[in-house]
Amino acid sequence: MQKFLILCLLYFYTNSINVSGEESSPRLLFVFGDSYADTGNTPPGSASAWSVPYGKFWPGTPVGRFSDGFVETDILAAALGMPSPTPYRLAQNVSISGGVNFAVGGSGVTYAYGTPPFQTQVGWFGSMVEAGVFTPEDLNRALIFVSVVGNDYATYNGSSLEGLFNLTHEVPLLIDLNLRTLYSLGARNFIVSSVSPLDCLPRITASSGYTECQKNLTIDAVIASHNLFLGNRLENITRKLENSSVLYLQQTKSMRYVLNHLSEFNLTEGLKPCCVGNCGSVDESGNPLYTVCENPETHFFWDGVHPTEAGWKAIVGLYKLPRFTWFARSLSSWFGMYVSTYS
């Protein structure tokens, strides 16, 4: 495990695409959320991310990431010139000099798929802060990345549309409250993702043979409502919480853009995932219940929900351009302001 983590650090320091264009002093990255951000917090054997063929592209074996290689946390950290932070599950035994990743696959702000929600993850962070693991200056300079992008909606089991739309108020509210708790603990700089395009996930588009996103006015309205209400709450944070800074990543828009402009990113497969079927599962005889493509670098999606490493690189690349973020022109400009503030 130590050798694996050293290889990770070397990769990020030699392959980072620093958006600031300048050097800055050491800082920490703390990550919260779901499987788009999780880099190994689900217990081994408890999730598909620990089974073949996950990790096929990198490092060649499953390591708890829900992709063929790196996930959003890794690519975003590289774009910021930072190492991907240590998973909380390993924090007692491995250096956390670059921060800690608390995200757990399957989580949301409710109990979604039964894994620790955002609030519990914030509690883990709070315990470390109260124990004096991080100084007030560490926290003031730290970056917080939050990925709560759809599990609460995917697991909604109510029978009414009213209940579903009530959730589009509840989920942003709970994200807001958790961000305020992080602020009270000393954090000031937040990067938050909008919801993913739920109508374009392969588990939804499979019914059309992966030919088109599902045309569903209800899903469209849920996505739009969530993103608007969350945006309003994030704007309120920037207005009311002194010295806070928020970047709102327009993940819905960026993912749709990539899917509609595949050739710009050297991709050829949009809605059809590389791993088709019950990815990571086998039958009683050990035969795989899925098929895997030979070239994941040309696919946007890895499985029924998660992008490939190539997909994540395309998405994060868009954040560095105008039009794919709120409250700052781009990730590049926001991070530039951050660097100038803390240099």
Crossing angle (nearest 10°) for helices 72-79 and 309-319: 40
| 220 noted as active-site residue | no
| 169 noted as active-site residue | no
In this structure, are residues 221 and 179 in contact, taking their beta carbons and an 8 Å threshold? no
| 68 noted as active-site residue | no
Instruction: Quote the DSSP letter at residue 320.
Output: T
In this structure, are residues 72 and 79 in contact, taking their beta carbons and an 8 Å threshold? no
Q: Which of 67, 84, 306, 332 is catalytic?
A: 306
**Which of these, 145, 4, 7, 14, lies nearest to 78 by C-alpha position?**
14
3-state secondary structure at position 246: strand
CA distance 303 to 39: 16
In this structure, are residues 63 and 55 in contact, taking their beta carbons and an 8 Å threshold? yes
Query: What contacts 27, CB < 8 A, 6 or more positions away?
Result: 82, 141, 142, 143, 342
Alpha helices, H only, 16-117 = 72-79
Element (H, E) at 158: none
**Which of these, 166, 182, 312, 169, lies nearest to 249 by C-alpha position?**
312
Q: Which of 35, 107, 193, 194 is catalytic?
A: 35
Q: Which of 193, 303, 330, 332 is catalytic?
A: 303
Return the active site residues.
Answer: 35, 303, 306
